[in-house]
Amino acid sequence: MLAVSVGLVFLLFFSEALRARSRRKKYIQALYGNYEKLRDKEYDPRRYMRMGSYYTRHTAEGQIDDITWNDLDMDDVFKRMNYALSSSGEEYLYYTLRTPSMDEGRLLHLEDTVEYFGNNPDERVRVQLALHELGNTGKYSLYDYLDNLDCLGSRSSLGSIVRDLLFLPFIGLLFFRLSVGVLGIVALTIYNILTYFRQKEDIDPYLISFAYVLRLLDVCRTLEKHPIPVCEGEWDELRRHRRAMQGMRRNSFWVMSPARGMENASGNPIEILLDYIRMVFHVDLIKFNGMLKHLRGHIKDVDALAGTVGFLETAICVWEFRQSLEEGFCIPEFTPQGGIELKGGYHPLLSNPVKNDIVAERGVLLTGSNASGKSTFLKMTALNAILAQTIHTCTADGFRAPFFFIYSSMALKDSLSDGESYYTVEIRALKRILDAAASGKRPILCFVDEVLRGTNTVERIAASTQILASLGSFGILCFAATHDIELTDLLDERFDNYHFEEELKDGDMVFNYRLLPGKAATRNAIRLLELMGYDPDIIRRAEDQALNFLNTGVWQHS
């Protein structure tokens, strides 16, 4: 009977080992080719809110502000290319997308790293397996935990150490006055056990960050064994900062053991014994205080290690993103000055996108019917400018431009919390672009959709003309979309006109989404009413009223 039981246990462990091996084999196969599986992940809203933690701690001039980020749906773009397996990789990728480089050298180094991982799949998978072991920090960022280390206040192990030392004289008394020795040992043991759980409860929330830092050190040690030729600087950083953190690693098992309390005990006699030792002698609390002190003094080392590991994983994400682009990609070319030359540009979030070309040496004014493609073209162009200066990759057949600070004013909303109307929000967003241009630090590339849509027609056209004229001045390259056809004539000295158009086929409105030179010659707002089944009298009166205004410049009463 015993032999049968032992055999069943052995069979259970053997079958589980085989399943684990099979899972690992499939996972490695996915790393070599099934990239979309790596991108198929759910985002806890609480965790995603903390995705920018690395970014907010590494501010730089010219970073993508919140208005532009939201205008361009950059959260969706980030998720589209997020193949990262670790929190550090995700946060560094997010930081990269929000931090356009003004230095081509940095981008070329990223390119070298991306190409290396593409040309050396075994090395890439080796790094990914290490990053998979690093994993995530749960619903919070590592930086949330690091920022809260001070909440623990000043912690001293002196009391625990003194009580531990008191055990020695009481043990000695066992040989001379047994009752006193036993009473002293029992009293110290009871006191330490009673105070242990209260102190342990205080430190438990911080063990997640400690565990992640320790895994980070392990991953860096693993990476150091396999240097990458194009990343000598990163490997030097890994070695230097990891060695500075080694004091945290020594004897950390007292704190990070799987059985840190009786509620977690697995039944292993050694683990149970260690748990009793912790409770009686506070060994883990003493070590925790030492680790806490060490970590507080080496936050910059942790940050450097997280950033270096994040850079490596970002390079892998860029390579996998490129492989996923069925419509192709290009490496951007940067020029000392001038405008933008975009060939075959498309938006990576669209299925079956229509590619468009444009050469813009001065401002571009887009006109066209509703839903004809103006806003999508603005977003596509802006996105390619950002991708060029962040991940050195454009979703286009060709891209040439200088380095820009990039801004937009497109998808704005009323601010109920601040009590601001849409118009107020809009003019504030536009002013920030003019203020950035006034600094003269870098050329500005900006994108404006339906400027001043939040006010009346006469003032809108007048104010729009002057604002766009300013945005079309020296040092600013402005792409703007409008329904106000009057602006095409008022701004023809500063802006080149382009348009999108539609055609009616089988009683339906059809758009080809092709960018065409010149201003729009068609309008479709009233025609869309007809297609939606509005009363023919409403359609007729609207057409007559619009035609009369175009002929006379005066609105007739309905």
The model's confidence at residue 205, banded by pLDDT at 50, 70 and 90, is confident
Per-residue tokens: 44: 């806890």
- Other C-beta atoms closer than 10 Å to the C-beta of 447 total 27
Question: At residue 259, what is the residue type?
Answer: A
- Strands of the sheet containing 340-345, edge to edge, are 333-334, 398-401, 340-345, 356-360
Instruction: Specify the pLDDT at position 531.
Output: 67
What letter would DSSP give residue 150? G
Give the mean model confidence (pLDDT) for residues 174-178.
83
Q: Which residues of 272-281 are buried (b: 16+ CB within 10 A; e: fewer)?
A: eebbeebbbb
Burial class (CB in 10 A: 0-12, 13-18, 19+), 249: middle
The model's confidence at residue 42, banded by pLDDT at 50, 70 and 90, is confident
When comparing pLDDT for 226 and 420, which is higher?
A: 226
Instruction: Specify the pLDDT at position 4.
Output: 62
The model's confidence at residue 273, banded by pLDDT at 50, 70 and 90, is confident
Q: Measure CA of the first residue to CA of the last residue in the chain; give whole Å.
A: 98
Which of 172-186, 269-283, 408-422 has the weakest average pLDDT? 408-422
Most distant CA atoms of the chain, gap in Å = 118
Give the mean model confidence (pLDDT) for residues 34-53.
80
Burial class (CB in 10 A: 0-12, 13-18, 19+), 458: exposed
**Cα distance between residue 344 and residue 366, in whole Å:** 18
Q: What is the pLDDT of residues 426-485, one digit of tens each?
A: 888 889 998 988 887 789 999 998 877 756 677 788 888 888 888 887 789 999 998 888
Asked if residues 166 and 188 have their Cβ atoms less than 8 Å apart, the reply is yes
What letter would DSSP give residue 355? P
Query: Which of 130, 51, 126 is CA-nearest to residue 85?
Result: 130
Phi, then psi, of 420 in degrees rounded to 5 = -105, 135
Q: Across-strand partners of 101?
A: none
**Cα distance between residue 57 and residue 40, in whole Å:** 28
Q: How far, CA to CA in Å, does 378 sit from each of 272, 345, 373, 423?
A: 64, 11, 9, 21
> Does pLDDT of 361 surpass 80?
yes
**Cα distance between residue 77 and residue 100, in whole Å:** 15
Q: How far, CA to CA in Å, does 522 sit from each of 309, 369, 433, 546?
A: 54, 7, 31, 13
Asked if residues 496 and 483 have their Cβ atoms less than 8 Å apart, the reply is no
When comparing pLDDT for 250 and 453, which is higher?
A: 250
Q: Torsion over CA of 379, 381, 383 and 384, rounded to 10 degrees? A: 160
Instruction: Specify the pLDDT at position 130.
Output: 92
Query: Please, what is the average pLDDT of the chain?
Result: 85
**Cα distance between residue 3 and residue 125, in whole Å:** 42
When comparing pLDDT for 484 and 345, which is higher?
A: 345
Per-residue tokens: 531: 């297609």
Contacts 24+ apart (CB under 8 A), 184-187: none
DSSP symbols for 84-101: -SSHHHHHHHHHHHTS--
509 SS3 class: strand
Give the mean model confidence (pLDDT) for residues 258-265.
42
Q: What is the pLDDT of residues 501-549, one digit of tens each?
A: 877 666 667 788 999 999 876 666 666 666 667 777 777 777 777 677 6
Q: HSE-up of 154 (CA within 13 Å, CB side)?
A: 1
Per-residue tokens: 183: 């009473």
Question: At residue 436, what is the residue type?
Answer: A
The model's confidence at residue 331, banded by pLDDT at 50, 70 and 90, is very high
Q: What is the pLDDT of residues 130-165, one digit of tens each?
A: 999 998 887 888 898 888 887 777 888 888 888 888
What does R_g of the chain's alpha carbons equal in angstroms?
Answer: 32
Burial class (CB in 10 A: 0-12, 13-18, 19+), 555: exposed
Please give the domain boundaries of the chain with CATH numbers for all domains: 333-519 (3.40.50.300)
Query: Which of 255, 254, 287 is CA-nearest to residue 161?
Result: 287
Helix (H), strand (E) at residue 78? helix 74-81
- Tokens 């962040």, residue located: 390
Per-residue tokens: 194: 């009673």
DSSP symbols for 28-73: HHHHHT-HHHHH-----HHHHHTTTHHHHTS--TTPPPHHHHHHTT
